[in-house]
Structure 1
């Protein structure tokens, strides 16, 4: 289980004691009416080959049980339980870059076994507001800064309070206070497991423009774990524009600046994104440039709470930004054929400072839905450049995902 059931107990207690008085029958019936129970399974085979390490493979299944109550005077309760099991009964791979002393010298597959409370929160919903207290999933914008790392079997969730306000149809305001991050590496990992936080997240968007949507955000991260580098704490202020030049051409522009927070040393780094997508059915072409800047080669722009697998290639070579920064020039080609979604992607990786060639990567995926089941095959091939730290890596996945 997660380290503690504190938030589950507190959420349930708050739900009961803060609610107005009503008969047990009325209270119970209100919760039962509209309640939803869901069961889902995700079985995946993953094979990793990385130069200098022993090859790894894993056959895992994530079983998920989700419950959402009905509403009573705007109050509700949700809970979600996950179990991750290695089906061969032999976890012969490393599950984290540090903190896992088993299987040294093997390639990492970040899917540890375990049974955990993935979510457990009380919610209060009105016409324009939703407040959540407890363990919850947080995804802001495209998850580049705040995400749930949904690709891994053990999802990243957050303990704290969140508030979403939609007073008008075109303005959306979101705030969250985080005191703990339940990371994908599991509770048993002493270094890469849960991270204690005292962090505040602000995100506001305005969609009243005909040409697109404007987003501004401030993410004040204060990580309190003694085993975590001080540079993981940072203040990030940014603005994002999601534009549509026509029905067939979409584009994104984004800029952010990151500075020190808490006890972290002095640093300042920039983030920049320029991306355009041309939709010519059944094809979609995306050309993009993303920069995670460097502060004079001493610090690289960091996004420790992002869904990082969705960015900078599926081989996950840059989960931590190099101190020299990172430029990612990429092109994606997607097509829908015979009911299947096919995507091919190419990335060229270079440093922001020092003109370093990190390497390049080719990614490929195909997925198709058959009733309640989604089948996927996925491949990533990273080729080393001039920096020895980023070695040749190949990854392959077969996955079946179904819900009831």
Structure 2
């Protein structure tokens, strides 16, 4: 057991931040206590945290810029002692932003305690507001509580109604309003016992180790899509667009993967998304590498067409600056983006909240990792037995509503399995 210090959340006073090395404390997700937590973990590495030393909420078209200004001011006034000096050490803020500029809920939060693991090194960062009275805490393994029996109900609309919305979108695409639009649907789950986010996180990390398992302010999920990583001047992004469900038969799945790689509909959808991302990154990067053809990313429940894009930062942008430039990509909005977002507002019939918005972390250098909040669910702060699940699909001229509904069902599987696991 390792003793650390947890700071009480205080007023807008300078932060005092200290990062020290740790011996291996065990799996990161097992360290989370029974209190609001944050997570960004992939293959056992990443960051987890709890408590809150500072928080900033934003809204509107400039919500990312507002958050970046607040974070820069917060870091510039902080007293920092970083004995590890790795990405994710020193001051760290976790963020989750709404898909739509008009939606409330975007947040950047600084945990009181962050524990990190990278390349065989572990560390703990404690953050307090200057003059705050600290309270003792310990790093130890904590158990997570199962939610018990789970029941499901339609969210904003039934599956049949959502198929009708997809059909409307195809008509609008055929008419020439947009080339592609990404439509989402939600599903409501109710549990016998209050939902413990740690239960969901552990189930997701076990089943989807190659995804980024995240939790920020009640939004929990495991995303396969890296919006952007900025690390010491190097920029990376992973684009996913074009999806097919797996059957569980390896030979059949290989044949399906080959058909996905040849599908004109899916290749067209993927090309839109890659072009959108590369065009947004180009003003900030040199030496960009954009592969000519995608590869097939195999996940336990689905397969995606995927492209990894890389570049060298040229203008001193922070990770949040890049997030602002990239969101929303064609992979989660559509093409042309502005027209597709307007069509989403018209047809979708719900507020996505933070679904399909950026989620991740940034450190005091401006580096960070940000994913797209997919394969996720939002816990209800007012009702601990209620969870709202989300899934979305890219709609193009060749889309079939019934197939899109089936694809959305497949994308709901990770969260349903995380809730239902024994």
* Global fold match (TM > 0.5): no
Q: Of the two structures, which has the highest relative contact order with CA contacts closer than 8 Å and spacing of 6 or more?
A: 2
Could you say which TM-score interval applies, normalised by the shorter chain?
under 0.3
Q: Which has the higher strand share?
A: 1
Larger Rg: 1
Q: Which has the higher helix share?
A: 2
TM-score normalised by L of structure 2: 0.24
TM-score normalised by L of structure 1: 0.24
